Structure 1
Amino acid sequence: MNRRAIVVGGGIGGLAAAVHLRAHGWRVEVHERSAALPDTGTVLGIWPSALRALDTLGLGEQARDLGPAPSGSSFLRADGSRIGSLNVAAMRGGGLRMLSRPTLLGLLAGALPAEALVFGSPVSDLDRFDSDVVIAADGINSGIRTGLFGERYRAKYTGSTAWRGSAPGKTGAMTETWGEGALFGMTPQEDGSTNWYASARALEADRAPRGEAATIRVHFGHWHHGVRQVLDRLDERTVLRHDLYHVDPPLPSYVRGRVALVGDAAHAMSPILGRGGCEALLDGVALADRLVTLPRVEDALAAYDADRRKPTQRLARMASVTSRMMHARRFTGLRDATMKLALRSAPLD
């Protein structure tokens, strides 16, 4: 076998596919427009299914060693009262791990030889490559997605913005607090600090003239003591703000010709369920696995689309509905009761 794959984008899905393909004899080049991997980024919940995907790549044990396991997971109201809990210790497959995006990307990139990663290399013309397959992993604003499927499938603003960062001090559990039209979450981080994230309704591209930390304190400064403790330790220099986008309507296919889309390029979704990074990882491993086990690339791409499109689009719909519920300003009692029931039947995988 002397097959060649070009991966456009050095994110989670693209790197996962590259690692798996190279391990099975493919020649792979990953073209990333940035000059290097990011050194900042929020913590991701690595669910059991994603840990099993990392096991396939030979990286599962490293991920488990690096990522702390949360001691519990609770959903709270703004006054600190409990909506419900998720028994993360009962999850199948070794439970949940928390890994920052830079750490996970570093783990994946470290499994590739340096020459396989081409930084500072934006790709706008796929015809320049003589390859068996192109893997479009170019993110939420994927130019390849738009080029293949048209302007209708550009990512659209969800109506909400998000802030992320870390604060000194350790937390063992995951907590997410829901208020009127806003949320504030906290998780453990591998360096012993507290990873936090927040979201609220906002105008697209709106930014705070007095600084984002001040805006966050206005939104959440009257919430319960646990939130206020984190707010007291915020450093403006470490606060990241990103508007939230999703792909809506969903794509009719994740494949067009010899091109396959993975991760946010295929199914960018609201981050409310915390599954975007996991699904990108599962995409990359599933696509590569089909390519190394089926003799015809066309059959492999069709099988990948059949494997991954329906479940990821179903998850994206769930994320959209949950995001609208979470950001509701009215009927929050009904919202919280619905969430409590959902937690009782949440899949632990």
Structure 2
Amino acid sequence: MRQRTALVIGGGIGGLTAAVALDRRGWSVTVLERVTAPEPGSAAGYPAMSGGAAQRSGAGIALAPNAQRALDTLDAGDAVRAMAAWQTTGEIRLPGGRRLARTDHAAAVRRFGGPVAVAHRAEVIGMLAARLPDGAVRTGARAALVDAGDPGAEDRPARVRIEGAADGGAELTADLVVAADGIHSAVRRALFPGHPAPRYAGFTAWRLVVPAPDGVHGAHETWGPGSSWGTVPLTGGRIYAYATAAVPPGGRAADGERAELLRRFGTWHHPVPALLAAADPAAVLRNDVCTAAAPPPAFHRGRVALLGDAVHPMTPNLGQGGCQAIEDAVVLAHLAAPDAELAAALTAYTRQRLPRTMDVVRRAERIGRVTTWRSRPACLLRAALMATTARLAPDLVLRPLDGIADWRPPAGTYASGT
């Protein structure tokens, strides 16, 4: 039996997880990543980001127990857990510092089998890339889908054209294409040209990684009128901070995003001002938050499978964007066994992943809308509900993740190719 070939378009968390999982299943895999080299603030660095670039890359990633269990099937779960700075508690506060609730990570262990691991996104990417054969990741390779192919016809593989690389214009063929090319996926548009594009969720997010100021070590999230701030420790004496605000899309601060954050959050409780003072102005990321406007017709067409943000973009309010991409990758590889009929495998992939991920999209969006409340009565009601819930039933704050964080991957491990 000849070795099947796969092209993965996009070298983020989901794309690399798919590449590793397919490689473990016996596929010959090539990852096509448009980024040429790691830059400050870039989420893609190969084979790993280190030193100053890694310190300045402004994004962490939360991996809930469902994603950790998926990575366990690739022998990568322990590596992620080793990257995480574990916290026993976290707090939810108001901008003035009043604590509304304390979250106990032991409750997550009881409910979901483990806590959330928060790691540096660039380091997770480096760890996954290092698990691929030498030369499997091609950077500076912008890919365009030419033909989705036909999984029922051996003589009609999928075809992809390389743009912007040294071999620009070259065409590659593959038995399977995995499109992990993000929220504005060109592959999704090519497969389903009439499907509505992701829509703005009503708020913008900022992310930054800074050296931890003295005395700053705990995790917290703070909710203000139409805005929020979160702080999570990372390993190596770093802090991952994120902020959101209900603002019109497409905005940019003329004097820089750190200055914008100072205007919006500089008077909030400690340690927010200290973290902003420690931030590198050039390394603050700003992105409008988008969510799926409607369920797609399918997660596949021809020989192409869509994965992660390319097919189910979601707000970050459940911390499940990367987690669901990892689930997608592991399920796809499980179904696409070397002896499996590809058309049936892709149909099963859509059947299993579409309803689950769109449910997560809807749940995350509901919580995201609550963060955009601005009126004083609405914010007072929100604070009262949080405080009452925390006092009477502390575990209820975890209920939005029921049926999500307790997910388990298909049986078996791909570590030994079984």
Q: TM-score, normalised by structure 1?
A: 0.94
Tell me if structure 1 keeps the 8 A contact 2:8–2:30. yes
Q: Which moved more, 1:121-130 or 1:4-13?
A: 121-130
Deviation sequence 1:106-155 (CA, Å, 0-9, x none)? 11100001221111111113433432211110011100111111254322
Partners in 2 of 1:65 and 1:188 — Cα distance? 14
Partners in 2 of 1:120 and 1:151 — Cα distance? 29
1:154-303 matched pairs, under 5 angstroms: 154-169=197-212, 171-292=216-337, 295-303=340-348
CA gap 1:151/1:85 in 2 versus in 1, 3 angstroms: farther
Q: CA deviation at 1:165?
A: 0.7
Task: Give the aligned residue type for 2:141.
Answer: S
- Partner residue in 2 for 1:73: 90
Task: Give the aligned residue type for 1:102.
Answer: A
- Partner residue in 2 for 1:122: 142
Task: Give the aligned residue type for 1:345.
Answer: R
Partners in 1 of 2:102 and 2:5 — Cα distance? 47
* Aligned: 1:34 with 2:77: no
* Aligned: 1:48 with 2:65: yes
Q: CA deviation at 1:19?
A: 0.7
- Partner residue in 1 for 2:381: 334
Task: Give the aligned residue type for 1:199.
Answer: T
Partners in 2 of 1:106 and 1:243 — Cα distance? 26
Task: Give the aligned residue type for 2:207.
Answer: R
Tell me if structure 2 keeps the 8 A contact 1:50–1:278. yes
* Aligned: 1:25 with 2:68: no
CA gap 1:337/1:292 in 2 versus in 1, 3 angstroms: farther
Partners in 2 of 1:339 and 1:254 — Cα distance? 37
Q: Alignment RMSD, CA only? A: 1.9
Q: CA deviation at 1:344?
A: 5.6
* Aligned: 1:63 with 2:80: yes
Partners in 1 of 2:217 and 2:351 — Cα distance? 39
* Aligned: 1:321 with 2:322: no
Tell me if structure 2 keeps the 8 A contact 1:12–1:277. yes
SS of equivalent residue, structure 1 residue 282: helix
Match of 2:397 among 321, 343, 346: 343
Tell me if structure 2 keeps the 8 A contact 1:76–1:82. yes
- Partner residue in 1 for 2:4: 3
Q: CA deviation at 1:339?
A: 4.6
1:96-111 matched pairs, under 5 angstroms: 96-111=116-131
Q: CA deviation at 1:173?
A: 3.1
Tell me if structure 2 keeps the 8 A contact 1:78–1:179. yes
Gaps of 5+ in 2: 38-43, 46-53, 148-158, 160-171, 390-395, 407-418
Task: Give the aligned residue type for 1:144.
Answer: V
SS of equivalent residue, structure 2 residue 119: strand
Whose radius of gyration is greater, 1 or 2? 2
Q: CA deviation at 1:71?
A: 2.6
Partners in 1 of 2:346 and 2:306 — Cα distance? 10
Q: Name the structure where helix makes up a greater proportion of residues.
A: 1
Query: Percent identity, aligned pairs only?
Result: 38
Partners in 2 of 1:126 and 1:111 — Cα distance? 29
Deviation sequence 1:152-181 (CA, Å, 0-9, x none)? 432222231111112222644321100000
Partners in 2 of 1:51 and 1:105 — Cα distance? 14
SS of equivalent residue, structure 1 residue 153: coil
SS of equivalent residue, structure 1 residue 267: coil
Deviation sequence 1:24-82 (CA, Å, 0-9, x none)? 21111111111133352411111111111111111111111122112322211112222
Tell me if structure 2 keeps the 8 A contact 1:263–1:283. yes
Q: TM-score, normalised by structure 2?
A: 0.79
Gaps of 5+ in 1: none
Partners in 2 of 1:31 and 1:126 — Cα distance? 15
Task: Give the aligned residue type for 2:360.
Answer: L
- Partner residue in 1 for 2:184: 141
Task: Give the aligned residue type for 2:381.
Answer: L
Q: CA deviation at 1:317?
A: 0.8
Task: Give the aligned residue type for 1:145.
Answer: R
CA gap 1:299/1:65 in 2 versus in 1, 3 angstroms: same
Tell me if structure 2 keeps the 8 A contact 1:271–1:319. yes
